[in-house]
A and B are shown apart, each in its own frame.
Chain A
Amino acid sequence: MSEAYLLSRKRLPDWIKSLAEIYTVLGPVPLRRGQTVFEPIASADLLNPNYCSTMLSPRLFIYPGCQKLFTVNRSTGQYVTADPRTQRPQLIFAIHPCDMHAISVLDRTFLAKYEDYYYRKRRDDTVTIVLNCNKACDSGFCDSMGTGPFLRLKQGFDVALTAREKDFIAEPASENGERLIGGRDFFERATAADLGEKEEIEQRAKRSFTKHLDTDGLPQLLMRHLDHTVYRRTADSRCLGCTNCTMVCPTCYCYNVQDRTGYDLMTTTRQRYWDSCQELHFAQVHGGNFRSSREARMRQFVTHKLATWVEQYGCFGCIGCGRCMTWCPTGIDLTEMAKEIQRDAAEK
C-alpha cells in the first residue's frame, strides 16, 4: 500500500501554484447564482473545493463535445490526423468520485477492443486529483451505485484527497501522483489515526444520503418489463426530447460524425460531436427509424444506463451523480422510473 500524506489547508495555494507551473489546472470555480464550473485556474484564489456538482462533468476535458478527427485533401487524398492534445498537459483538480468513476466507465468504451486514438491521447495527457465527498449532494445517489461518496477505484487516477477541517489527506495512486506530492515540503506523512478518521468521515457521508436506488437484480427486472407503461407516460407528459439528460451525463459516449468541406471544395474536415439517443434522428436508417417514438427513446436511456450497460461493460452506465434529473427541464428522474417498475413487480 502506498503512503498517505497531509496537506494543510493553508498550503493548498502553494500546491496549486506548483501544479500550475507544469499543468493547465482545471478546478471547480464558482459562477453566478450558486453554479460551479470547471475552468483553468492559475491559483487557488478562485477555487471552490466545497462545490456540490457541476452541470457538465469533467468528461469534456478528455472527450470534448466537438472534436476534429482529421482533414483530407479531396484531390490528393492526403489525410492529416488532428492532434487531440491541448497545448499543455492538463490536471483536473477536485474531481468528485462519481465523475472519476464515470471516466473509468468511458475507458471501457473507448479503450476496448478498438482503441480510440483521440480519447487515448487526451486520457494519457490528463492528471486527475480526486476530492472525496464528505456530504451527499441534493440529487446524488452514488452510494447506491457504488461510485461514491468516497472513491472506490484502485487505479486509473493519480491522487485522492479527503478534506478535513484543517487539512487534506492525500493518497497518491500512481507514479505520477507520487511525483506530484513527493519532494514538496508542505506535505507531511499521515498517521494511522488520520486514516481512521477518514473512515469515519466516509461513514458519516454515507449516512447523509436521502436518495437511494436498490440495484439488486435491477438489470434483469428492467429487461423483463420493457413494455412498462412508465416509459410511455413519462415520454408523453414530460419528456421534451431535448437531450439534456444525455448531454450532461458523464458516461454518455455516443457521437455523430460529420464532414464539412471548405469553400475551395478541396479541404474536408471530419469532426465528431456528442450525439444523443434521445434525439429523434439518432436511430434513423434509410427507410425507417428504429426509435421513432419518444417512449422508445426514453426506454433506451433508462435500460441502457441501468441494465444493458452491465451486460456490455460489466458495470452500470449510471454513476449516480443525479445530473440527468437536475438538468432535465421537467425534472424526469430515472430512479423514480426504476422504482415504479420495482414496486409494480413486487406487488404482482
Chain B
Amino acid sequence: MNEQPKIGVFKYSCCAGCEFQLIYFQKHVIDMFEKTQITYCRMLQSGGHPEGPFDVALIEGAITEQWQADQLNRVRAVSRYLIPIGSCAVCGGVPAIKNTTEEQEIEKRVYTDTSLVHSMKTGAINDYVKIDGAVKGCPMGVRDLSELVISLLLDKRPEFVNCSVCVECKLAANICVLVAYNEPCMGPVTNAGCGALCPGHHRACYGCWGPMEDANAWALAGQFRLMGLTNDDIHRKFTEFGQPTTQWKAGQIK
C-alpha cells in the first residue's frame, strides 16, 4: 500500500473496551502512528471524518438500534475492508444475552419509562453487512489485531486464528481443566486467540471469544450434562457470548 491507509473506528452497543484496546495497542507501537492514519475514532479524537472513505473500517459493538444499522450500511459503502472487532461485533457478545428474553420485559427491567427506548433484537455486524474478516476477542486479541495491521501494510489477506482454544491450550502445555479437573470448559467450541488464558490459570474457558467455525455445541452440551450441569447452566454457557450465532445454537437448549 503506497499511501497511509485510512482507518475509521465506529462504536455501537458495547463497553468500548475494544476501542480502548486499540488505543492501548497503538501507544505500544509508535510506528503505527506513522504508517496509518486514523481519520475517525471518537475515543481517540473529537471531530474526524465519519463520512469516509476508509481503507479499513473497524466496527466495535453489536447492532441494537436502527440508526446503527443505517450508519453501518453507509460505512460499508465507503470502506474497502470492513472488519468487526471484538465479540459484540463479531458474534453478538454480551449485549446479545438479552435476546434470550422478551424485548419489552428486558427494557422494563432497566428503565421505568420505556417510551424513549428504541432497542431491537441484538445482531452481529455480519447479520447486516458483508465483512472482510474479524478480529475476535473480548476485548479483541492483540495477535489478530497486529496481524490485521501488518497485513494491511503488506497488502495481504490476514490469517486470523481460527481453531479451538484447545489448540493454544495444548501448545501452552496446560493440563486440560475439563478432562483432569471436571470443569465445564467451553474451550473445545470456542475460537482461539487468547492463548488459553483461563485454562492457563486452572479456570474453565467461558467462551468470550465466541464460537469457532464448525463447533459441535450439541456434543459439548451433552458432555456438560453428563458432568452434572443443569440445562439452565448449559443454556447460560452457550448464550453468554454468541447468542445469535448458528454454531452455538445447538447448545442453547432450555
A residues engaging B (CB < 8 A)? 31, 33-35, 37, 55-56, 60, 65-66, 236-244, 247-248, 258, 260-261, 263-265, 273-274, 276, 279-281, 294, 326-330
Contact = CB atoms under 8 A, between A and B. Distances in A.
A241 B173 contact: no
Contacts of A237: 218-219, 222
B69 interface: no
B166 A247 contact: yes
13 contacts: A35-B175, A236-B219, A242-B166, A243-B167, A244-B176, A244-B188, A247-B166, A261-B154, A263-B31, A279-B163, A279-B164, A281-B162, A330-B219
Interface in B153-188: 153-154, 159, 162-164, 166-167, 170-171, 173, 175-176, 178-181, 185, 187-188
Contacts of A330: 219-220, 222-223
Interface residues of B, number: 38
A265 B170 contact: no
B29 interface: yes
B3 interface: no
Nearest to A273: B171
B220 A33 contact: no
Nearest to B189: A240
A240 B171 contact: no
Contacts of B218: 237
Interface of B: 29, 31-32, 35, 146-147, 150, 153-154, 159, 162-164, 166-167, 170-171, 173, 175-176, 178-181, 185, 187-189, 212-216, 218-220, 222-223
Task: Please classify the interface of chain A as helix (H, G, I), strand (E, B), loop, or mixed, using the class held by over half of its residues.
Answer: loop
A258 B212 CA distance: 20
Given A264-B31, A329-B178, A241 B214 contact: yes
A265 B220 contact: no
A263 B215 contact: no
B219 to A, nearest CB: 5
Contact of A243 (B164, B180, B219): B164
Nearest to A242: B188
A243 B171 CA distance: 11
B159 A265 contact: no
Contacts of B219: 236-240, 330
Nearest to B165: A242
Contacts of B153: 265
A37 B173 contact: yes
B171 to A, nearest CB: 4
Contact of A265 (B154, B179, B180, B212): B154
Contacts of B187: 242
B181 A329 contact: no
A97 B217 CA distance: 37
B212 to A, nearest CB: 8
A330 B222 CA distance: 9
Q: Which are the 3 A-B pairs with shortest beta-carbon distances?
A: A242-B188, A247-B170, A240-B188
